[in-house]
Amino acid sequence: MYNQASKDAPAWIEIFVDNCTRSLPRSSLRVPVFADMVLGEVLFHEIGHHIHYTQAPEFREREDVAEDWKKRLSKIYFRKRYWYFLPIAYMLYPFSWLIKKVSRSHE
């Protein structure tokens, strides 16, 4: 939850970790990349709201702007933190594209 700054307090973000991790087995959160993905989804989305309000206002739906910032910030974070997964991701990308195409044809 993003809370805008007021006269009395600076802006702040509140994350309810139990809600974020409810759908995952607890043991998967011991793997840093999974924990980062789960919490990063929420954190980067809320940071996107902060950027939208304070630095780069846009005349679009607030949630759409926050989602765009989430994608942008996640990409930066994961490329820096998990750079060693990039070669694997590049090798697997054609397979993910093929799976998406096949699943669309079955719909």
Which domain covers residue 26, as residue numbers?
2-106
Angle at the Cα of 15 (from 13 to 19), degrees rounded to 5? 155
Q: With residue 51 as reference, give the H or E element that holds it.
A: helix 32-54
- Encode pLDDT of 60-98 as tens digits: 888 999 999 999 999 999 999 999 988 887 888 788 778
**0.85 exceeded by pTM:** no
Number of domains comprising the chain: 1
Distance CA 14, CA 11 (A): 10
Q: Establish how many alpha carbons lie within 13 A of residue 85's alpha carbon, considering only the half-sphere containing its beta carbon.
A: 10
